[in-house]
Amino acid sequence: MRLVFKNIRDQVLQRYDLEQIKVVKYTSVSGFLFLRFFVPALATPYLFQLWDSTLPPLPSSSLVSLS
């Protein structure tokens, strides 16, 4: 995981200007972490053993909208 995060940070450092790097180097790593791990768990909690079975339609659509 550290190598992946370092690679993302290095790519950002090469692409953006110096004044943008202060913010973008942190948001890129945290955005990757959130989109890769937390959003799929929110959208389909039964696949990650967070819920025993498939959710009813209303909570399921709410979680998909949230993610």
C-alpha to C-alpha distances, 57 to 5, 15, 17, 47, 50, nearest whole angstrom: 36, 42, 45, 16, 17
49 torsion bin: left (phi>0), alpha (psi -120 to 50), beta (else): left
The pLDDT of residue 57 is above 80: no
More confident residue, 63 or 21: 21
What total of structural domains would you count in the chain?
1
More confident residue, 57 or 26: 26
Q: 6 is in which domain, residue-wise? A: 2-66
Q: Which residues contact 24 (CB under 8 A, 6 or more apart)?
A: 12, 16
The pLDDT of residue 56 is above 80: no
- Tens-place pLDDT, residues 6-46: 999 899 889 988 888 888 888 899 999 988 888 888 878 77
Cβ pair 9, 23 in contact under 8 A: no
